[in-house]
């Protein structure tokens, strides 16, 4: 029988978990050599890689790792690192390597349980229905769980990065998985599953506490803002998803709802539509455009690029949060 001790919550794990896992796995310090921001170069933890010189990068913000050594190339998240090290084999009586890795990490670091981890992990499908490769050198960039108000898992979104399969092609893609009571994962939305906000329980609780809530386009950006101490959420399925007016009740009681658009024409157009749909939910519902002079996506001038760029420049998260907070407060004052 699987118990809560067999599971853990990696989807909302604090930044730096990859450091703790690495040190527990290898017995070596994760301080290593600084690359940029908080990333570190360390000796590869893979069991079949005798790494004499640090060739593995640890990213504490994303809790990911990647080895750049020729002939190795292991990469992924915390559980992938444990599997690569071979330490998961110390655990018996589980149905998969990832479950073994999860139990090993639970015991090593005493992390809080996550009931969703009891489900078998979905396998990534690198091809579309016609058998065409979607991305080259694809890897899992992040995982985002959508939970109902009772914290029950509704569905899971995986974000993959890679190289374009053709010139001018996309460099990322998303895959949505729907867990079923029998343990299966479906890739099409069942009739009994309704779209919900990302981080819905946290958003709902913050609204009733009269806090400021930030609505962005994309789960990754919401996670970055949460790491800086803000309450943030995102609509599902990208900017094309139309937020229904019935979702206003999610935000009822909030002091302010700040809608941050992407720095392009479609992003600003969608932000205006969302403000219209959600107007009246919070005391103040405004579009907060941090960089209105930007007319197209620019590296470092979208929330999803700005925060990592600040980290890469060695700017502490506290300073970045203070800068953003001043910006948000200025927009609120101008709208009052």
Tokens at residue 290, please? Answer: 């941090």
The highest-level CATH class for domain 200-335 is: alpha beta
Pick the CATH number of 4-114 from 2.60.40, 3.90.580, 2.60.98, 3.30.310: 3.90.580
Which is it for strands 75-76 and 172-179: parallel, antiparallel or unpaired?
unpaired
Which is it for strands 135-147 and 153-164: parallel, antiparallel or unpaired?
antiparallel
- The whole-angstrom separation of Cα 217 and Cα 194 is 19
| Contact criterion met (CB below 8 Å) for 148 and 154 | yes
Domain boundaries, given as residue ranges, for the chain: 4-114, 119-194, 200-335
Nearest to 198 by CA among 246, 238, 140, 138: 238
Give pLDDT tens digits for 226-285: 999 999 999 988 777 888 888 899 999 999 999 998 877 778 888 888 888 898 889 999
- The whole-angstrom separation of Cα 133 and Cα 139 is 13
First to last CA, the chain: 56
pLDDT, position 111: 58
Give pLDDT tens digits for 8-32: 545 555 667 888 889 889 888 887 6
Name the residue with higher pLDDT: 299 or 191.
Answer: 191
pLDDT band at residue 114 under the 50/70/90 scheme = low
- Is the pLDDT at 305 greater than 60, yes or no? yes
Give pLDDT tens digits for 29-80: 887 666 666 788 889 999 999 888 888 998 887 788 999 888 888 988 888 8
* Local structure of residue 209 (DSSP, 8 states): T
pLDDT band at residue 186 under the 50/70/90 scheme = confident
Give pLDDT tens digits for 197-210: 999 999 999 999 99
């Amino acid at each position: 029988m699987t118990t809560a001790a067999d599971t853990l919550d990696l989807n909302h794990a604090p930044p730096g978990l990859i450091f703790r896992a690495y040190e527990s796995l290898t017995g070596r310090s994760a301080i290593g050599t600084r690359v940029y921001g908080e990333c570190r170069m360390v000796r590869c933890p893979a069991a079949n890689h005798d790494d004499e010189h640090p060739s593995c990068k640890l990213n504490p913000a994303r809790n990911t790792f990647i080895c750049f050594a020729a002939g190795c190339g292991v990469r992924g998240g915390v559980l992938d690192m444990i599997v690569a090290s071979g330490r998961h084999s110390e655990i018996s009586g589980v149905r998969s390597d990832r479950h073994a890795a999860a139990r090993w990490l639970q015991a090593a670091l005493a992390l809080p349980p996550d009931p969703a981890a009891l489900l078998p992990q979905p396998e990534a499908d690198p091809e579309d229905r016609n058998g065409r490769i979607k991305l080259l050198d694809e890897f899992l960039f992040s995982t985002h769980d959508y939970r109902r108000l009772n914290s029950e898992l509704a569905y899971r979104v995986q974000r993959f990065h890679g190289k374009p399969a053709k010139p001018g092609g996309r460099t990322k893609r998303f895959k949505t998985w729907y867990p079923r009571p029998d343990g299966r994962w479906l890739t099409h939305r069942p009739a009994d599953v309704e779209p919900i906000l990302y981080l819905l329980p946290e958003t709902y609780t913050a609204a009733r506490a009269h806090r400021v809530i930030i609505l962005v386009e994309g789960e990754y950006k919401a996670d970055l803002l949460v790491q800086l101490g803000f309450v943030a959420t995102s609509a599902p399925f990208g900017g094309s998803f139309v937020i229904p007016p019935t979702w206003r009740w999610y935000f009822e009681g909030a002091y302010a709802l700040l809608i941050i658009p992407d720095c392009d024409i479609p992003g600003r157009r969608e932000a205006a539509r969302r403000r219209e749909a959600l107007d009246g939910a919070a005391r103040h519902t405004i579009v907060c455009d941090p960089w209105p002079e930007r007319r197209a996506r620019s590296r470092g001038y979208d929330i999803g690029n700005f925060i990592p760029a600040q980290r890469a420049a060695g700017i502490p998260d506290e300073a970045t949060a203070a800068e953003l907070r001043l910006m948000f407060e200025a927009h609120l004052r101008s709208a009052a």
